A = this chain, B = another copy of it.
Amino acid sequence: MKQMTGKQSISFAEPVYIEGSAAVVGEMEKEGPLGAYFSHTLSDAMCGQESWEEGESELQLAAAKLAMQRADVKPEQIRMVFAGDLLAQSIASSFGLVNLNCPLYGLFGACSTIGEAISLGAMAVAGGYGDRVLAVTSSHFGTAEKEFRFPLAYGNQRPPSASWTVTGSGACVLGKRKGKEKITGITTGKIIDYGLKDNQNMGACMAPAACDTICQNFVDFNRGPDDYDCIVTGDLGIVGKEILLELLKKKGYDVAGQHRDCGIMIFDSARQDTGAGGSGCGCAASVLAAYLLPKLESGEWKRILFVPTGALMSKVSFQEGRSVPGIAQAVVIEREEDL
């Protein structure tokens, strides 16, 4: 059974349901504009562990466990886990999820990873490879600054275009059991490199990838902006959003009415001094679980296009003067009306 549509999308013959989802975030995220939507926050920046990395692992595990609890499944009922984070060699996931004792595929798509995890997870369920799978990603301000930027104690200045890594994790249990939110399609992203080299302006680096995936989604599904109640990018931030809207306009699409960006939504940049907005694997993931999915559940929205965006760079590639390519993975999520 072919489920391909267009050039790079999949239209699932039978939808895959989000049986349970959860977000766990840090203090700053709780104090942000979406604070009321986040029910679970960290005890402290290290989650009672001895390093930020161990803390991020705990965070990811907590989100995974909460999503399973809400889906009313136990780890042994999860056929496969699709997980990733921003750290070198994805250690937040590897150390965080080891005790779940589930079969696992590690992923890396930078901040787009939750889109990748949900895409591959939905493919696995729809393909008959598992009745239930788990998609989970995380990021942490402390681990990300250490991995990519400066020692926190150094207190470096940031340009306004820089983003602020979200301390958070989001998880979804995907399965066949009918529920209120369903995944009906995906569009797999390509790596798009416009040659930009500024890792303090990742929104600009990722916007072309978001544009590419969104346009391809429109073409592959024969849809336009009006077919979605909301088109949500991951963490383009204020600068990247403007570029995306401009790029899409040049392609003939005006998405100004539908577009939201998780990075812009999660912080109040003026008040919280978070530059262009939030970023990280945990940004789109936690906003999806805590804010976007409930809007579908309540019926306020019928169909959204969730497009987490990633900047495919490392410390080494940056130091070697290379560009920052972007990638965006799109997931079509709809409200199940037939319940």
Contact = CB atoms under 8 A, between A and B. Distances in A.
A316 B325 CA distance: 25
B91 A191 contact: no
A110 interface: yes
A128 interface: yes
Interface in A300-339: 312-317, 320, 322, 325, 327, 329
Given A3-B128, A127-B3, A314-B87, A107 B110 contact: no
Interface stretch (A93-101, A150-158, A229-237, A287-295): A93-101
A190 interface: yes
Interface string A47-74: 0001101100000000000000000000
A117 to B, nearest CB: 10
A8 B89 contact: no
B110 A109 contact: no
B188 A95 contact: no
A89 B105 contact: no
A53 B127 contact: no
A88 B127 contact: no
Contacts of A89: 86, 88, 108, 110, 312-314, 317
B3 A94 contact: no
A250 interface: no
Given A98-B191, A322-B95, A325-B94, A103 B8 contact: yes
Contacts of A296: none
Nearest to A213: B103
A143 to B, nearest CB: 8
16 contacts: A1-B1, A3-B128, A4-B79, A8-B79, A8-B103, A88-B89, A89-B317, A91-B313, A94-B313, A94-B327, A105-B107, A105-B109, A105-B188, A106-B109, A126-B127, A127-B128
